[in-house]
Structure 1
Amino acid sequence: MERKCVYCKEIFEGRVDKKYCSAYCRSAWYYHQHKENKNTQFKKIDRQLKQNRKLLKNYNKAGLATIRKETLLAEGFNPNYFTHYWKNKKGEVYLFCYEFGFLSTVQNGKQKYLLIQWQSYTGN
């Protein structure tokens, strides 16, 4: 039975329920469908990770900095979104957004983040 591919419109033969002429066309069609949907879960997470990275980079020009937690949060930083973590020899866990990391700490009774940049000694 001949049908037209949903994506490329080429005529192909195959099962009655087959919609695409190839795996490439199937994948491309799904990609274009989801590209249109601006509020997918992936895009929300990706957007927040990029926002977090941008803020950490802007406040950590020297590779090591301390900033009030409320300052970062007010600018849209969300500490629940990170790409990986690193535990130092003291047992402190730094959370990272790509190459920029942060550690929640209290200094002089104020909530702060210690900001660092990924170094060769922090991991493989």
Structure 2
Amino acid sequence: MRIQQHCKHCNKELQGRTDKKYCDLHCKSAYQYQLAKEQPERFYNIVDNQLKLNRKILKEFNKGGKVTVRAERITEMGFNANFFTHFWKNQKGEVYLFVYEYGFMKLKEGAHEKYVLVLWQDYMNKPKI
């Protein structure tokens, strides 16, 4: 006796093995993809995607090693300063947040908010005494 009468994806009548659920691999794959799409995005994926986007934006704007850019330019591209991988504090006490090797620090100059963009440097690894 057949357990499943019709393909779970396309609803065609099944032929062959009695425990068959899909008519072919395409239907199996399409069904699994459809199920995954209906599930809410996992927290890990949200964080990972935002980190990748932040890194891409910082890389695009920081061609010279140290650059200042208006905050609205990068935020309208999808940059979110709440997602970073680590931080570094300089001798002046300023904290740079990093997305992998690309760092940023928020500044306020008058009415404008800006970001200072930097690249990770070897001296940043040295412990402070």
- Alpha-carbon distance in structure 1 between the residues aligned to 2:106 and 2:86: 15
What's the counterpart of residue 99 of structure 1? 101
Runs of at least 5 residues in structure 2 that lack an aligned partner in the other structure: 1-35
Residue 107 (structure 1) shift? 2.5
Task: State how 1:39-118 maps to structure 2 within 5 Å.
Answer: 39-118=41-120
TM-score by length of 1: 0.68
Secondary structure, in 3 states, of the residue corresponding to 2:41?
A: coil
Q: CA offsets, 1:14-34, max 9 Å, x none?
A: xxxxxxxxxxxxxxxxxxxxx
What's the counterpart of residue 8 of structure 1? none
Runs of at least 5 residues in structure 1 that lack an aligned partner in the other structure: 1-35
Secondary structure, in 3 states, of the residue corresponding to 1:50?
A: helix
From the two aligned structures, give the one with the greater strand fraction. 1
- In the alignment of these two chains, the number of paired residues is 89
Secondary structure, in 3 states, of the residue corresponding to 1:79?
A: coil
TM-score by length of 2: 0.65
Secondary structure, in 3 states, of the residue corresponding to 1:47?
A: helix
Aligned residues: percent identity? 47
Larger Rg: 2
What's the counterpart of residue 10 of structure 1? none
